[in-house]
């Protein structure tokens, strides 16, 4: 059992007692249980935390690849997005949920549209989600006001849903799509409601060049100057940062969602300066980004890609070692969400968000000792090794069969919706 507790203990022959949604006991558990899951031959680990995605974009998976970012957005993605309705987003979110359950992710942070429908889907799927409506005002005061109402409406919806797994987050899309007023308002709304302030920051070099042109300073310097940085902020990407920008983020206690696969696929250029962020004390989590720019929601793949991208770009095989990368995908990711008191490790009192990997798979054999288990999880495991996924004490998948959703129906329905969407453009 890979606990990811403070001592990073790896326990052998240990059991977990779950009561309701939480971990009640770990070790030699004597209590009898209503339901038992045999962990023999399995690697037990905390569920993975995906700190940045756009769940419903699973509908666009593989629709437009190998294109330049601006062409991809303007010619392919935006025309499709303008046609999306609530049903599309509901089923897209169910499809994404199914993919995450099958690949061992138990918590994720989302930003998209038709978020009431996404919230319903997450509620049904059994996953733990931080959901933000992607706010874009394009510096238009009328649009800005309407967008604020959308955020408030979604906030109300989540409150009434009253599902502890479905959390509200504020989601101003990016500094280049939101007015200063919107950024201020979003910050205040997030702080007032103690919620995550989810935003894209410094994903591309062009964004930095445009910021220089428009504001005379770099993106994070601009956010600092207008007072938009916040300890609630979860900044996705942060590829193009200077040392000064890292310092500003650290001082404001901003958190970062690193998305190596998406950054590589869209060829954002450069590599997010993770070692420098660690040194500055910035909590960093890993994210897949949406399936349109990845094209999967597979956190095992993201872990390996993260380790390899940094080793390769720094010419240093010792950085982003296996344990550190697993930390990013679990307890550090939880920290980035301000949720490390309840998720990110297997510890008594925490939520029972747990995955089991089939250790008797050829690609996870042999295991030379405790360190190898972590190494195998990061470098050798694939999503197909996930046997069981538990969230909030509820078994969402066992023996690779999803229990909370009818996977066949979800696949069929999204196939139909995606086909209709594409034909309509």
Q: What is the footprint of a second copy within residues 81-100 (CB under 8 A)?
A: 95-96, 98-99
Binding of a second copy by 345 (CB under 8 A) = no
Relative to beta strand 284-286, strand 255-258 is: parallel
Q: Binder to a second copy among 384, 395, 398, 403 (CB under 8 A)?
A: 384
Residue closer to a second copy by CB (options 216, 275) is: 275
Which of 393, 362, 372 lies closest to 12, judged by CA?
372
Q: Does 390 bind a second copy (CB under 8 A)?
A: no
Q: How far is the CB of 107 from a second copy (least distance, A)?
A: 18
Q: Smallest distance from the beta carbon of 308 to a second copy, in angstroms?
A: 4
Calpha distance 201→174 (Å, rounded): 6
Neighbours of 422 (CB within 10 A): 15
Residues 108-137 that bind a second copy (CB under 8 A): none
Q: Closest distance between a second copy and the C-beta of residue 101, in Å?
A: 8
Span interacting with a second copy, options 7-15, 16-24, 329-337, 372-380, rule CB under 8 A: 372-380
> Binding to a second copy by residue 232, rule CB under 8 A?
no
What's the count of helices (H) and strands (E) in the chain, helices before strands?
16, 15
Q: How far is the CB of 359 from a second copy (least distance, A)?
A: 9
Separation of alpha carbons 129 and 50, rounded Å: 9
Is 403 a binding residue for a second copy by CB under 8 A? The answer is no
Find the binder of a second copy among 50, 63, 115, 187 (CB under 8 A).
Answer: 63
From 67, 146, 209, 348, residue interacting with a second copy (rule: CB under 8 A): 67
Q: Quick one: DSSP state of residue 55?
A: G
Query: Could you give the CA distance from residue 272 to residue 109 in angstroms, rounded to a whole number?
Result: 19
- The least distance separating a second copy from the CB of residue 108, rounded to whole angstroms, comes to 14
Residue (136 or 418) nearer to a second copy, CB:
418
Say which residues have a Cβ less than 8 Å from residue 271's Cβ, sequence separation at least 6: 239, 260, 263, 309, 310, 313
Helix (H, G, I), strand (E, B) or coil at 321: coil
Q: How far apart are CA 300 and CA 280, in angstroms?
A: 26
Dihedral, 408, 411, 417, 423 alpha carbons, nearest 10: -120
How far is the C-alpha of 286 from the C-alpha of 288, rounded, in Å? Answer: 7
The Cβ-side half-sphere exposure at 170, using a 13 Å CA radius, reads: 26
Shortest distance (Å) from residue 19 CB to a second copy: 31
Rounded to a whole number of angstroms, the minimum distance from the CB of residue 43 to a second copy is 12
Beta strands in 28-72 (DSSP E): 42-46, 48-53
**Which residues in the 162-191 window bind a second copy by CB under 8 A?**
none
Enumerate residues 281-320 that contact a second copy by CB under 8 A: 291, 294-298, 301, 304-305, 307-309, 311-312, 314-319
- Select from 48, 49, 57, 59 the one that contacts a second copy (CB under 8 A): 59
Tokens linked to 87: 């049903």
Minimum distance of a second copy from residue 210's CB (angstroms): 17
Quick one: 136 or 286, whose CB is closer to a second copy?
286
Interface characters, 26-55, with a second copy (x: CB under 8 A): ------------------------------
Per CB under 8 A, which of residues 242..271 are in contact with a second copy? 261, 263-269, 271
Q: Determine how many CB atoms are found less than 10 A away from the CB of residue 159.
A: 10
Member of 38, 40, 408, 424 binding a second copy (CB under 8 A): 408
Binds a second copy (CB under 8 A): choice among 20, 85, 244, 365: 365
Minimum Å gap between C-beta 205 and a second copy is 8
Choose among 181, 330, 183, 337: nearest CA to 256. Answer: 337
How many other C-beta atoms lie within 10 A of the C-beta of residue 35? 7
Q: How many residues bind a second copy (CB under 8 A)?
A: 77
Cα(116)–Cα(158) distance, rounded to whole angstroms?
8
Residue 312's CB: how many other CB atoms inside 10 A? Answer: 11
User: CB of 80: closest distance to a second copy in angstroms?
Assistant: 10
């Amino acid at each position: 059992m890979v606990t990811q507790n403070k001592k990073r203990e790896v326990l052998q022959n240990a059991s977990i007692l779950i009561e309701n949604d939480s971990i009640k006991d770990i070790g030699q558990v004597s209590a009898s249980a209503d339901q038992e899951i045999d962990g023999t031959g399995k690697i037990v680990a905390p569920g993975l935390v995906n700190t940045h995605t756009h769940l419903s974009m699973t509908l666009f998976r593989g629709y437009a690849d190998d294109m330049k970012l601006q062409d991809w957005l303007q010619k392919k993605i935006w025309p499709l997005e303008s046609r999306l309705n609530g049903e599309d987003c509901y089923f897209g979110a169910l499809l994404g949920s199914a993919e995450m359950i099958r690949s061992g992710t138990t918590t994720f942070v989302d930003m998209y549209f038709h978020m009431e429908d996404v919230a319903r889907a997450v509620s049904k799927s059994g996953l733990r989600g931080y959901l933000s409506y992607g706010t874009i005002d394009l510096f238009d005061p009328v649009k800005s006001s309407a967008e604020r109402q959308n955020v408030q409406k979604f906030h109300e919806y989540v409150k009434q849903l009253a599902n502890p797994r479905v959390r509200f987050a504020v989601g101003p899309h990016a500094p280049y799509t939101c007015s200063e007023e919107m950024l201020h308002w979003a910050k205040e709304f997030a702080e007032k409601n103690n919620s995550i302030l989810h935003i894209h920051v410094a994903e591309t070099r062009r964004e930095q060049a445009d910021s220089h042109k428009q504001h005379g300073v770099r993106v994070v310097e601009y956010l600092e100057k207008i007072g938009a940085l916040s300890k609630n902020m979860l900044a996705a990407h942060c590829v193009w940062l200077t040392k000064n920008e890292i310092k500003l983020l650290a001082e404001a206690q901003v958190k970062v969602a690193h998305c190596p696969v998406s950054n590589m696929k869209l060829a954002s250029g450069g590599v997010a300066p993770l070692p420098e962020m660690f040194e500055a004390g910035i909590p960093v989590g890993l994210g897949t980004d949406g399936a349109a720019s990845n094209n999967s929601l597979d956190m095992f793949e993201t872990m390996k890609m993260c380790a390899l991208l940094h080793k390769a770009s720094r010419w240093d095989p010792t950085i982003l070692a296996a344990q550190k990368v697993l930390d990013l995908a679990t307890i550090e990711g939880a920290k980035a969400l301000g949720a490390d008191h309840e998720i990110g490790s297997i510890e008594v009192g925490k939520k029972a968000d747990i995955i089991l990997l089939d250790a008797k798979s050829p690609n996870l054999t042999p295991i030379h000792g405790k360190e190898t288990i972590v190494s195998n999880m990061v470098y050798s495991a694939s999503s197909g090794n996930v046997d069981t996924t538990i969230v909030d004490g509820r078994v969402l998948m066992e023996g690779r069969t999803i229990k909370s959703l009818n996977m066949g129906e979800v696949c069929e329905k999204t196939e139909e919706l995606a086909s209709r969407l594409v034909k309509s453009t």
